[in-house]
Structure 1
Amino acid sequence: MTLYAVDKLMSEARRIAAEYRRTTGKSLGISAEIARHDACRLLRLEASDEGGGFDARDPAGRKIQIKGRAIFEESKSAPRIGQLKLEQDWDDVVLVLMDGEFQTTAIYRAPREVVMEALDDGKRSKRGAMSVARFRKIAERVWTREPE
């Protein structure tokens, strides 16, 4: 399958996911795959199917764990990133933030050392759970969508 075909499929997947949420009020559960696709395309990462706790490698060979979160305007809660695989082999975490149409708005990146330091002794932290707001504070924004 060509890159063009994959990009077209992802575009359609975004449209369907957004329409599904508008219709049912529920998420379709596709944000992780969209995040992985966008992070690889926008940051020039190479997707990996090796497993072992990382999703891609950067040009320097660093192992990247990719997380994605769609932020919906009507959301009143503090969104969290997906559970981090703390015991696995990875070097950095990339967080892809998307709007209600599942379009990427910003990408943040933090090295493992910074992420581990930010996780305190709480129960959630031991499970590798962190809020989007906390991750944004410790990470560097590495990509942002141009203003329209």
Structure 2
Amino acid sequence: MQASVDSINAEIFEVLRDAKVLARRYYRLTGKPLGITGEVAEYEAATKLGLDLHCARKAGYDATEIRNGCPVHIQIKGRCVVNPARIVGRLGSIDLAQPFDAVLLVLLDSDFNAFAMYEASRYAVVAALTKPGSRARNERGSLGIRQFMAISSQRWLRQ
């Protein structure tokens, strides 16, 4: 059984490696992202943090991690940052009506490799999204990357 899982993981790594090359080439030619950031971010988080990924399009969360004997449901957001010294942009929409315990932001460099991961609790995310004053936050469930980093803790950093 383990050999089968290992061979599937090896094949997924190979596919993602090829997809990253295509995404870089596409961005270089068009100046637009190819749209694989979410999938790459999920797999980077799973492999680097040992998360158990769930099937695609699971409402609310993308992965589970066992902490202190209890499952923690994690929603994963990915952003490709061309210049890690100047981190700007917004996370994708976070639907507070869906079940999740934490949100994990995976920051990818221009080669689509993770360089940092930040995690915020559901409580911190709800507080930030429902704070009065911003239509993007309140109506669309969207936080700026820097806003998210301010309410989260660093989970992983590339050495």
Alignment match, 1:37: 43
**Which of 68, 77, 84 does residue 94 from structure 2 map onto?**
84
| One-letter code aligned to 1:85 | D
Instruction: Indicate whether 1:112 and 2:115 are aligned.
Output: no
* Pair 90,77 (structure 1): closer, same or farther in 2 beyond 3 Å: closer
Distance in 2, matches of 1:58 and 1:27, equals 29
Query: Cα distance, 1:77 vs. partner?
Result: 8.8
| One-letter code aligned to 1:40 | A
Structure 2 spans left out of the alignment, 5+ residues: 1-6
| One-letter code aligned to 1:125 | R
Instruction: Indicate whether 1:123 and 2:135 are aligned.
Output: yes
Query: Cα distance, 1:52 vs. partner?
Result: 2.5
Alignment match, 1:56: 63
What SS class does the counterpart of residue 78 from structure 1 fall into? coil
The share of aligned pairs that are identical, in percent, is 33
Query: Please, what TM-score do these two structures have when normalized by structure 1?
Result: 0.91
Alignment match, 1:46: 52
| One-letter code aligned to 1:17 | A
Residue deviations 1:56-110 (CA, integer Å, cap 9, x gap): 101231110000000123xx89300111121100000000001111111100001
Instruction: Indicate whether 1:68 and 2:72 are aligned.
Output: no
| One-letter code aligned to 1:62 | V
What SS class does the counterpart of residue 58 from structure 1 fall into? strand
Alignment match, 2:109: 99
What SS class does the counterpart of residue 27 from structure 1 fall into? coil
Query: Cα distance, 1:45 vs. partner?
Result: 0.6
- The answer on whether the counterparts of 2:54 and 2:63 sit within 8 Å (CA) in structure 1 is yes
Query: What is the number of equivalent residue pairs in this alignment?
Result: 145
**Which of 17, 24, 28 does residue 30 from structure 2 map onto?**
24
Query: Cα distance, 1:48 vs. partner?
Result: 1.1
| One-letter code aligned to 1:97 | L
Q: CA RMSD in A?
A: 1.8
- The structure with the largest alpha-carbon Rg is 2
What SS class does the counterpart of residue 127 from structure 2 fall into? helix
Structure 1 spans left out of the alignment, 5+ residues: none
